[in-house]
Amino acid sequence: MSGEKEKTSAPSSSPYVEFCKGVNGHDKVLLRESRGSSAEVYLYGAHVTSWKNDHGEELLFLSSKAVFKPPKAIRGGIPICFPQFGGLGTLDQHGFARNRLWTIDDDPPPFPTNTLSKAFVDLILKPSEEDSKNWPHCFEYRLRIALGPGGDLMLTSRIRNTNTEGKPFSFTFAYHTYFSVSDTSEVRVEGLETLDYLDNLQNKERFTEQGDALTFESEVDKIYLSTPTKIAIIDHEKKRTFVVRKDGLPDAVVWNPWDKKAKAMADFGDDEYKHMLCVEAAAIEKPITLKPGEEWKGRLELSAVPSSYCSGQLDPQRVLLGS
């Protein structure tokens, strides 16, 4: 393990990428773009904890009570759920990737990408002995986190089955993104209308969403199925729209704990549910199966665009089909 620790402090910083220490001395990486946008990534969990636009406004929600102390996962930002989403299996809630120490990937394989980003970091996770006992599969999980010149945040996961004895494995996955919003009850989500979903509050019973944009006035925990590659989260008060673009991730989870569950969570402020909404790009209903040597890729791109329209005047086709 000492070699791994040396590796995390060895990379040299640049104007776009800075390696430093965060809360409780944890290693973190700061990504900065020349126009002023930034992102912060902890090696613990390969966890994005901050994403700011070029005005320095925070776009992700991080709980004021978040615990930066292993083995507890960090509450907020973008936790990575792998190899299990939620309690859908024998592992701990949401699997183990979000509470392992990842390492800098100094020599990632060629990365076909159309971004001009200079602000990026490559991280890698391989199974520990403990992981192999609980989930007996060999894998390499490579993650690139990049900040585009326009401030877009891109996460690309590449997971490869490195089993040598011919065993395939299956997994479920999610980027559990916590968006920062002005007031959850004033937010609309476009792009999930008329789709089927599994309601986690009703024993995963399957329902069909109505034809209107999603709005929120109570606890929600739904897995939308066969979702489009683009979803919009419209925050009227902040005159801001988040656009979620995803590839390889057919499902989308929408979650807000609301008041009662918020009070029950030690690492979550009682009233913080009013200022966050999770919209998560995921692969849950149909687990991903990899044979030895096969690789899966799942990509998430987040952008925040100013929006000047008022409630009820949104043309969803423009947001979802436009650029």
The 10s digit of each residue's pLDDT in 189-225 is 999 999 999 999 999 999 999 988 999 999 999 999 9
Q: Which pLDDT belongs to residue 89?
A: 84
Respond yes or no: is residue 26 known to be catalytic.
no
The values of phi and psi at residue 211, to 5°, are: -80, -5
Q: Could you give the CA distance from residue 156 to residue 114 in angstroms, rounded to a whole number?
A: 12
Q: What predicted TM-score, i.e. pTM, was given to this entire model?
A: 0.92
Lowest mean pLDDT: which of 123-132, 215-224, 314-323?
314-323
3-state secondary structure of 262: helix
User: To which H or E segment does residue 303 belong?
Assistant: strand 295-306
Tokens 């989403």 sit at which residue?
85
Residue 275 · residue 300 · CB < 8 Å: no
Q: Do the bridges between strand 276-290 and strand 251-256 make them parallel or antiparallel, or are there none, so unpaired?
A: antiparallel
69-94 pLDDT, tens digit per residue, is 999 999 999 999 999 999 988 898 99
Which of 37-46, 85-94, 125-134, 208-217 reaches the highest mean pLDDT? 37-46
The values of phi and psi at residue 123, to 5°, are: -120, 155
CATH code of the domain occupying 17-321: 2.70.98.10
Q: Is 3 exposed, middle or buried (0-12, 13-18, 19+ CB in 10 A)?
A: exposed
User: 52 forms bridges with which residues in the sheet?
Assistant: 38, 58
The values of phi and psi at residue 267, to 5°, are: -100, 30
Q: Is 93 annotated as a binding residue?
A: yes
- Check pLDDT > 70 for residue 9: no
Q: Could you give the CA distance from residue 257 to residue 23 in angstroms, rounded to a whole number?
A: 26
Domain boundaries, the chain: 17-321
The active-site residue, picked from 176, 236, 285, 301, is 176
User: 227 forms bridges with which residues in the sheet?
Assistant: none
Copy the structure tokens of residue 146. Answer: 């990049």
Tokens 């989870």 sit at which residue?
253
Q: Is 75 annotated as a binding residue?
A: yes
Q: Is 98 annotated as a binding residue?
A: yes
Q: Could you give the CA distance from residue 37 to residue 292 in angstroms, rounded to a whole number?
A: 39
Respond yes or no: is residue 280 known to be catalytic.
yes
What pLDDT band is residue 269 in, cutting at 50, 70 and 90?
A: very high
